[in-house]
Amino acid sequence: MAVVIAGGGDIAYLLASSLAREEDVFVILPTEAARDRFENLDLQITVGPAASRSVLQHVGLSDGDTFVACADSDERNIIACLAARGRAQCATYCFITQDEHHESFNDPEQTTLEEVIDHLIWPQWSLAREIGRIVLEPRALDVESFHRGRIWLVEYRLEADSPLCGPTLAEAPLPRNALIVSRVRDGKLIVPRGLDRLEAGDKVLFMGRRTPLRQVAKRFFAAPETVVRSVTIVGAGRTGRLLARELTSGLWPEVKIIEVSRRRCEDIADQVGRAIVFHGDGTDLRLLEEIGVARSDALVAMAGDDQTNLLCSLIAKQLGIPKVVTGVSNETSSALFERVGIDVTLNARSAAIAEVLHQIQAPRLEYRATLEDGLAEVVEVVVPEDFEARQLREMDMPNGVIVGGVLRQYNTIVPGGEDEVRPGDRLLIVTTTESSGLVGPTFGLTPGAA
């Protein structure tokens, strides 16, 4: 199987550099100017329009291959996928940035796109939804839910006086149906075992049912039970607008948007739900005081560049805003932002790339979420019918892999060692990136299985 990547930007390069180690990769570049960046990778390069019949013929696109369109134009990506599917029965991935294309893809009266595009990737929309979940959960650093809320995943940072510091995980006073599935210390993520201990400053990821995780939040992290009532967004770019729309879909919170471009303020007035738009600089202390930003429960910095986002975030921390979420465009900025006390840093591009890489490299596992900028991920496995039922403690579980949830028909189980894995179970599994290739074989899935 070959992977054909159409595009010459950052997404194309990051995908190519990750896949070229193990896959047969072809890159279609729009111009010769982009060639130098890719020359150091073990792949083949073609220059030309990705939708051209001669270009697709040159790269040898055929049935069973994978085609990824990630140029900087939605229209070019969509047309390239149309051309690729017209030539071969290949899996197609199409990156988009515009609302209207997402709406067209999900319009039941328009079936054309669904027939030729297998995976529509909209990084900004995915990021906006993720930020929305995090903002509305007090003190949480990350929040995910699976299967309509049957299983939740929440991350917190451990304080020095936490009762979870000191005892082994086996001794930790967690409520029933709550499980620790990972911890991050000094930038390194592990899936801990029963004899491991937590320390102050660790980022700890819990998985479980909703009510027990609320008990964890209240008991160990002093999370208030009140709703988040006020959120400020700095930057009205595409992600900021989508986030405002997401947050204002319910009664709460009140949302303010600060945007430095007067023209953009006028353009977006009817695109952000009931959010109030203010024209000005998100680092202007006088403006922040005038509109009462210090009373916000959370601030989201999406101003466009990392330097401005960092300054906005530091000002928000000085104002005493309880939660600060910052967008980063450069992956290396995340560690710096965390070192200076920023609560949450997120990157739309890295999460989207991780999703595509997982689906290409581990098609037998259903991707559900990426964690800690790609250090780990949540995958779903359907246990095959020929699997011999056994307790989790009896299984030879690889390092870096833990079962966080078992969905058995109408039953939702947060498992311990004595719980069984049975044929037909749906398992939600947290795995480090390095161990993800071991998940399938552990539960009886073979690469060639149907």
Of 99-108, 355-364, 434-443, which gets the smallest average pLDDT? 99-108
Pairing of the two strands 203-208 and 298-301: unpaired
Question: What is the rounded end-to-end Cα distance, in angstroms, of the chain?
Answer: 17
Looking at mean pLDDT, say which of 115-124, 221-230, 376-385 comes out highest: 376-385
**Distance (Å, whole) CA 319 – CA 294:** 5
Classify residue 345 by its DSSP letter: E
Angle at CA of residue 375, ends 369 and 378, nearest 5°: 25
Q: Residue 294 — φ and ψ, nearest 5°? A: -60, -20
Q: How far is CA 310 from CA 82, 123, 128, 217, in A?
A: 41, 21, 19, 27
Give me 295's structure tokens: 């009373």
Strand partners, 411: 408
- Strands (DSSP E) found in 98-208: 119-121, 142-146, 151-157, 178-185, 188-190, 203-208
Report the mean per-residue pLDDT for the chain: 91
Geometric angle at alpha carbon 394, from 391 and 397, rounded to 5°:
105
CB atoms inside a 10 Å sphere around CB 450: 5
Query: What mean pLDDT comes out for the span 56-83?
Result: 95
Q: Encoding tokens for residue 259? A: 């945007």
Q: What is the pLDDT of residue 447?
A: 57
Rg (CA), the chain: 23
State the average pLDDT over residues 70-82: 94
Query: What distance in Å separates the CA atoms of residue 145 and residue 96, rounded to the nearest whole number?
Result: 24
DSSP bridge pairs for 230: 254
State mean pLDDT over 195-209: 96
User: For 347-368, what is each residue's pLDDT tens digit?
Assistant: 888 878 888 988 887 776 888 8
Q: What is the pTM of this model?
A: 0.87
pLDDT at 449 (0 to 100): 45
Q: Are 199 and 408 in contact (CB under 8 A)?
A: no
Residue, of 102 and 419, whose pLDDT is higher: 419
Whether residue 322 is preceded by a cis peptide bond, meaning omega within 30 degrees of 0, is no
Mean pLDDT calculated for residue range 74-78: 94
Q: Are 414 and 216 in contact, with CB atoms under 8 Å apart?
A: no
At 445, list the tokens: 């899935």
What domains, with CATH codes, occur in the chain? 2-121 (3.40.50.720), 230-346 (3.40.50.720)
CA–centroid distance for 181 within its chain: 17
Closest to 61 (Cα-Cα) out of 91, 84, 44: 84
**Percent of the chain beyond pLDDT 90?**
77
Strand, coil or helix: 409:
coil
Alpha helices in 92-232 (DSSP H): 99-105, 112-116, 123-135, 210-221
Q: pLDDT digits over 375-415, tens only?
A: 999 999 999 999 999 999 999 999 999 999 999 999 999 99
Query: H helices of 276-408, where?
Result: 285-290, 306-318, 333-339, 348-361
As a whole number, mean pLDDT of residues 273-290 equals 95
Which tens digits make up the pLDDT trace of 137-182?
989 999 999 999 999 999 999 999 999 999 999 999 999 999 999 9
- 402 beta partners: 430
Strand order in the sheet with 411-413: 366-371, 376-382, 426-432, 401-408, 411-413
Residue 450 above 50 pLDDT?
A: no
